[in-house]
Amino acid sequence: MTMAASNSLLELRKCTMRFGGLTAVSALDLEIGRNELIGLIGPNGAGKTTVFNLITGVYQPTEGSIDFESASIVGRKAYNITEHGIARTFQNIRLFPSLSVFDNVRVAFHLHLLSGLSHALVRGSGFLREEREISEKVMELLKIFRLDGHADVEAKSLPYGDQRRLEIVRALATRPKLLLLDEPAAGMNPTEKVELMNLIRFIQDQFKLSVLLVEHDMKVVMGICQRVAVLDYGQKIAEGTPEEIRCNPKVIEAYLGETNA
């Protein structure tokens, strides 16, 4: 599956990540187009989260290149990569627990602030206007995701499913072009998973962004992704549409063992 270069948003070429003697990701090629929803699957320890950490600047690849909008992002700091338009959620939820739901999202808006420290001290009319605008935008976002009723609640006291949703809302507030979701369905019941699938489709559509979804749950991945890449022991063993992946013998082997193939 090749794409025109102009359409490519993120491009990993021959990306390798070694931790001492362990090769977590090996010569990975991955391309994500604009407004595309891609799934990244693989058994435990296949290197999925490492791929996330490479893209978001937590790790620097041992070899290979990562280009975002045709510019290399290797060596950039995590906050800088977010500035460029890549936002993420975490496998184990990482909200700001002592901040309110409202402030969790508000903090994420700071990237698009015109006013800084000095404005916050002077509190002139421009600053106050901007703060009001941000408040409105935060509430708008919270409303879309039905979290506005909990705006003043401390994030840590939200129910689990709401925390997951809030993490997505917070990532959206940075106005990303690419959203990375790390096992968003973890710990959800079947009804919640269906809701989550609708939510992800809605986000891709409404916010006009690309999504890279790391997920264990096959139903979720096969249900919404346009393309799926399969990792095993750090190597990409298959890539294609959900149908192609489902009957790929290598994938079946990796997931179910040889005897079942």
Partner 1 sequence: MRPTGGHLLLAGGLVGSYLLNLASDRIDGYWLHIITLVGINVILAVSLNLINGYTGQFSLGHAGFMAIGAYTAAAITMFGGPKLLPLLGGSGSAMAVGMLFLMALVAGGIVASIAGVVVGGPSLRLKGDYLAIVTLGFGEIISVIFRNIESLGGALGLNGIPLYTNLFWTFGFGVVTIYTVLALVHSTYGRGFIAVHDDEIAAEAMGINTTRYKITAFVIGAFFAGIGGGLFAHQISAIDPRGFTFMRSIEIVVFVILGGMGNTVGVILAAVLLTILTEYLRGIGEWRMLMYSFLLIVLMLTRPQGLFRWRSGRRVKSAATPTVS
- For partner 1, which residue of 45, 60, 70, 77 counts as binding (CB under 8 A)? 77
Task: Using the rule CB under 8 A, give the single segment among 74-82, 194-202, 223-231, 234-242 that binds partner 1.
Answer: 74-82
Amino acid letter for position 187: G
Show the binding pattern over residues 86-125: x = contacts partner 1 (CB under 8 A), - = does not.
-xx-x---xxxxxx---x--xxxxxx-x-xxx-xxx-xxx
CB-count exposure of residue 106 (10 Å: 0-12, 13-18, 19+): buried
Report in angstroms how near the CB of residue 63 gets to partner 1 at its nearest: 24
To the nearest whole angstrom, how small is the minimum distance from the Cβ of residue 207 to partner 1? 16
- Tell the smallest beta-carbon distance from residue 114 to partner 1 (Å): 10
CB of 56 to partner 1, least distance (A): 6
CA 219 – CA 261 distance, rounded (Å) = 19
What's the min distance (Å) between Cβ of 194 and partner 1? 19
DSSP state letters, 146-212? T-GGGTTSBGGGS-HHHHHHHHHHHHHHT--SEEEEESTTTT--HHHHHHHHHHHHHHHHHTT-EEE
Percent of the chain as helix, strand, coil, to the nearest 5: 45, 25, 30
Cα dihedral 81, 237, 23, 28 sign: negative
CB 134 within 8 A of CB 105: no
Instruction: Compose the 133-152 pattern: x for residues touching partner 1 by CB under 8 A, - for all others.
Output: -x--------x--xxxxx-x
Decide: 50 and 257 in contact? Cβ < 8 Å.
no
Whichever of 113 and 261 has its CB closer to partner 1, that residue is 113
Which of these, 214, 256, 178, 239, lies nearest to 29 by C-alpha position? 239
On whether the CB atoms of residues 182 and 52 are closer than 8 A, the answer is: yes
Alpha-carbon gap, residue 227 to 241, rounded angstroms: 5
Q: Does 202 bind partner 1 (CB under 8 A)?
A: no
Q: Which residue, 67 or 148, has its beta carbon nearer to partner 1?
A: 148
> Considering the rule CB under 8 A, would residue 45 count as an interface residue with partner 1?
no
261 lies in the site for partner 1, by CB under 8 A: no
Which residues, 3 to 32, sit near partner 1 by CB under 8 A? none
Nearer to partner 1 by C-beta: 62 or 135? 135
Residues 155-184 touching partner 1, rule: CB under 8 A, are 157-158, 170-171, 174
Residue 129 binds partner 1 (CB under 8 A):
no
Q: What is the Cα–Cα distance from 253 to 85, expressed in whole angstroms? A: 36
- When binding is defined by CB under 8 A, the residue of 139, 153, 222, 252 that contacts partner 1 is 153
Give the residues lining the site for partner 1 (CB under 8 A): 56, 58, 77-79, 82-83, 87-88, 90, 94-99, 103, 106-111, 113, 115-117, 119-121, 123-125, 127-128, 130-131, 134, 143, 146-150, 152-154, 157-158, 170-171, 174
